[in-house]
Structure 1
Amino acid sequence: MEERLDEYRKRLDKEEIPADLLDHAIEAGVQMARQEQKRRPRRIWILSVAMVAILLVGFSSIGKIMELIQHDKGLMSAVEHEYYEEIGVSEKKNGIEFVIEGAIADEKGLVLFYTIKTDEKQTNISFEDIDLKVLDEGKINPSSISSGGLHKRENSKKSSSGMLEFFFRDNLTSREFQLKTAVKGDGVRENFSLNFSLTKEIRMKKVYPLNKTVVIEGQKIDFVEATIFPLRVAIHLKIDPNNTKELLEIEDMRLVDEHGEVWSKILNGTTRTGVTEHEFIYYLQSNYFKEPKELYLAFGKIQAVDKEYREVVIDTEQMKILKQPPGNRLKGLEIYGGDIRMKLYTEKEFPYGIFSEVVDGKGNTVDITSNYMSSRRDEGYTLSGVTIPDLKSYPNPISLKLSFFPEWIIGDEKIKIK
């Protein structure tokens, strides 16, 4: 370790690191130190602060790596434990350079860190048509892709950094990949194709059977197992189809160790996937590298509505909300072209887009091109909506299935994982 630190110090002497980046590193290090102080000897947690700062050298081309991963304790821990792998492949076309800086991978996921550099200052940079292919064993289809959306460059800049997250249904055994995507800027769009390889050994998952049934206000949930990967923790559960309420979202699911340290839900990216109508996988930040003696799954606040009100029903011709959960929180139905919008009034901020599937008057599923929400907290509501191509061609009434809603059942549950 001392030899590694000495090597990093020599590299630091040759690097120019922006002051704001150092500030983020110091702050991240202090937070780590506070969390570790009660559980580890002083020498070790001071070293953690140093490691946060010197690891910036390895990410100097990414620029603001600490800002990218500070929201996820699992990714922070993976970097701290040297599970990050440098890649450094790039392609440049017509003044736009796309660089894959590095990666973190496990059996089910791949996170790529990238930088987009432009010769001219750009206000907006975004991705289109992201496609990841496996070169050494055939195509593998990601079950989810997250790109972080649009890069807004304040005052226009020539560089942006971010993450591309891929997660898979099948195990990721490949080591050779090809990433194809288009990068779009202000009046410019270029296609990129980059081949890259992974050399680090993939850490194996840890599986813990749960086999626990929880009942909250008469509603049953069966917890099947917890699987801990380096990138995230997957909680497999089944909701009893005989429940009287539609359980929409477990808001406060988290891992807690014997010292009270918490790993919460994924903040950016995929937070839940469906297996069947009543079976789901919830994703939490990973504690893979921590190895606590005791680990618990805790939760207690679940969004739930009576099954009679699992859908909001509207008439697009009469511009009326025909059915919604009790309380009439939804008001101000608006239709603009293919956009259906409603105002959801709540006492406190409710940061969810509430609609998912849409069904027309004949029971046919309607294609949605976008699902969005916008907070108007100063006016006491959130604007939620969906965009449906050729909306007028669908017969009334239109039913919008709720994916989130501000009604809850409350408990205080704690399931032992190990």
Structure 2
Amino acid sequence: MQEDNQTVDQQVALPLIDPYIRNGIHQAKQLQQKRRRMRWVRLGSGLAACSFLLALFFSIKLSPAVAAYVSHIPGMEKLVELISDDRGLQRAAENDMVQNIGASASHNGVSFTIDQVLMDQKRMLVFYTMKAKEKHKLSVSNVELFDSSGKNWEYGISWSSGDLHETNVIRDRLDIYVGEMNEVPEVLIAKITPAIDSVALDTPLSVTFPIDKTKYISLDEKVYPVMKQVEVDGQRFTIEQIAVFPTQTEVSIRFDPDNTKHVFDFDQLRLVDEKGQTFAFWGNGVPYRDNGPNGVVYHLESMYFVQPEKLYLKASGIRAIDKDKLQVVIDAKQQTLEKAPDSQLQLTALRQNEDVVGMDFTLAVQEQDLHRHYSLLSELTDDVGNEYEHVQSTSSVGNKKTTHSYGYLFKRKTNKGAPSSYQFTLNNYPVRLLGDFSVQVK
């Protein structure tokens, strides 16, 4: 998912404050529904609230075998393009895991067609085509999945923000993640809410499609036990195991609860085999999820259809911060930062309008972070106990190339009085441990 990959200029003239805020509130329901579907997925830097640009560090080429396999099948050309960033998915397609669907629904001149499905027991990729009679900026506003009885199916999901240019057709994919204890139904009902020029339609399109489990049911996961402890800059974590599925490789890591720093994420986490072939996360889908206390499962490119003799888990850096610097506090009356991790983060605006709070930040970054936009926060609290709903996030490159701008919009759900301060816990931050690591895991 990438959830809303657009970057937006956050400098808003004073007379436009109210329209700016109210326009954000108009989107609250759709955004809240979308996030509810992701409740069991840990929100990573490419997923939570704010967009980011992942700096790809390896060149990717479409497998000739995959291109040859799908070239003779009508309608498969776009699928080839949509998996060109992931050689694991290419190998899955090559091994006859693609299900041709062709189910569609239409309403008021807009149609949504599920073209193909590629899936296993952990992940489902739904390739779709959305069309309109006239050219517009087309996107998917909301997705809900149900079984044949109409019961809501538990899942996590991500998708792109759609086409930023006016067109009458888009072809893209939904990335759906199956819950640990959740069985895939024989038939799914997808209720898709299209958006035309960023305005969600009133009526969702309902598309029913079958699941052919014979495509993947015999492909059991491959598990490589590891249980190796790593220490970097005084912080310890254990690589527990590597589990491989046709659509992704899962790396389970557990952090020592006695660590003095909170680890946000790894830079360029990847598996490398004895030939130098790399399996990494390429920026599409969900990068990681929670796995119990202090545990995280990282999603990398699948190596299911290859047989490496040796495997090394590597990272080029580890983003982490002192645990006592995780909390950020804003003085609501003075409109200043009362507590911040360091001088890199600056509050440039605080807008308080009835039940709406908008805040803008600048973040000074180093060269290695020039092309990455981090999700700084997704939840807000205050000193009087009000509850807030996250509505919208934006990010952009600031006036200086070494500065990023971030904007966040929240709606207050309760009325316990005017706060004196706001607080939030950092989701991510561009500060790193001293060192990297490379560990043989097979």
TM-score (ref. length: structure 1): 0.81
Asked if 2 retains the 8 angstrom alpha-carbon contact of 1:100 and 1:114, the reply is: yes
Q: Tell me, yes or no, if structure 1 residue 340 matches structure 2 residue 355.
A: no
> Equivalents in 2 of 1:107, 1:315: separation in Å?
48
Aligned residue in 2 for 1:117: 131
Post-superposition offset of 1:362:
4.7
Give CA-to-partner distance per residue, 1:221-240, whole Å, 9 cap, x none. 12222211111122222211
Q: Kindly tell me: are residues 131 and 352 of structure 1, through their superposed partners in 2, closer, same or farther at Cα, counting changes over 3 Å?
A: same
Tell me the residue number matched to 1:353. Answer: 375
Shift of 1:275: 3.1
**What aligned pairs does 1:380-391 form with structure 2 within 5 A after superposition?**
380-390=402-412
Contact 2:162 2:170 in 1 (8 A): no
Match for residue 317 of structure 2 among 293, 301, 306: 301
In 1, Cα distance between equivalents of 2:259 and 2:366: 28
Partner residue of 1:368? 390
Matched, 1:183 2:213: no
3-state SS of the aligned residue for 2:308?
A: coil
Q: Is the 8 A contact 1:83 1:104 kept in 2?
A: yes
Q: CA deviation at 1:370?
A: 3.0
Residues 116-171 of structure 1: per-residue CA shift (max 9 Å, x gap): 1222222x1122331112227964300x2112123223xx3221000011102224
Give the direction of change, closer, same or farther, for the CA distance of 1:30–1:372 in structure 2 (3 Å limit).
closer
Q: Is 1:198 the counterpart of 2:211 in the alignment? A: yes
Moved more, 302-311 or 357-366: 357-366
**Separation in 1 of the partners of 2:296 and 2:134?**
45
CA distance in structure 1 between the aligned counterparts of 2:291 and 2:60, rounded to whole angstroms: 40
- Equivalent residue number for residue 65 of structure 1: 79
Distance 1:99 1:345, change over 3 A: same
- Letter aligned with residue 405 of structure 2: L
In structure 1, how many angstroms separate the alpha carbons of the residues matched to 2:399 and 2:117?
38
SS at match of 1:317: coil
Query: Which residue of structure 1 aligns with residue 159 of structure 2?
Result: 147
Instruction: Give the whole-Å Cα distance in 1 for the aligned partners of 2:434 and 2:71.
Output: 43
The Cα shift of 1:353 comes to: 2.1
Query: Quick check: which has more Rg, 1 or 2?
Result: 1
RMSD of aligned residue pairs (Cα, Å): 2.6
Q: Does 1:417 align with 2:441?
A: yes
1:173 positional shift: 3.8
Indicate how the Cα distance of structure 1 residues 241 and 363 shifts in structure 2: closer, same or farther if over 3 A, else same: farther
Q: How far apart, CA to CA, are the structure 1 residues paired with 2:66 and 2:317?
A: 37
Distance of 1:121 and 1:179 partners within structure 2: 24
Contact 2:347 2:359 (8 Å CA) reproduced: no
Give the C-alpha shift of residue 217 in structure 1.
Answer: 0.7
Bigger share in strand? 1
Change beyond 3 A, Cα 1:309–1:225: same
Q: How many residues get paired?
A: 369
2:122/2:178 contact within 8 Å kept: yes
Q: How far apart are 1:400 and its partner, in Å?
A: 2.0
1:244 matched to which residue of 2?
260
- 2:280 aligned to which of 264, 269, 280: 264
The amino acid of 1:340's aligned partner reads M
1:165 pairs with 2:172: no
Residues 44-70 of structure 1, C-alpha deviation per residue, up to 9 Å, x if partnerless? xxxx52641551343x53653333222
User: 1:385-404 CA deviation, whole Å, 9 max, x = no partner?
Assistant: 32211399562322221121
Cα contact 1:273–1:280 (8 A) shared by 2: yes
Contact 1:295-1:416 at 8 Å conserved across structures: yes
- Partner of 1:406: helix, strand, or coil? coil
Confirm whether residue 49 of structure 1 aligns to residue 43 of structure 2: no
1:19-30 superposed matches below 5 A: none
Q: What amino acid is aligned across from residue 148 of structure 1 in structure 2?
A: S
**Alignment check: 8 A CA contact 2:112 2:128 kept:** yes
Residue type of the partner of 1:253? L
More helix by share: 1
Aligned equivalent of 1:84? 98
Deviation at 1:341, TM superposition (A): 1.3
Aligned residues with identical type, % of pairs: 26
3-state DSSP class of the match of 1:64?
Answer: helix
Q: Which runs of 5+ in 1 are unaligned?
A: 1-28, 33-47
Distance 1:247 1:80, change over 3 A: same
When normalised by structure 2's length, the TM-score is 0.76
For the 8 Å contact 1:147–1:163, the answer to whether it is kept is yes
Please give the alpha-carbon distance, in whole angstroms, between the structure 1 residues aligned to 2:120 and 2:176.
11
Query: In the alignment, is the contact (CA less than 8 A) between 1:136 and 1:176 conserved in 2?
Result: no
Q: Give how far 1:339 is off.
A: 1.4
2:344 alignment partner AA: R
| Distance across 1 between alignment mates of 2:60 and 2:263 | 39
Q: Secondary structure at the match of 1:308?
A: helix
Change (3 A) 1:232 1:188: closer
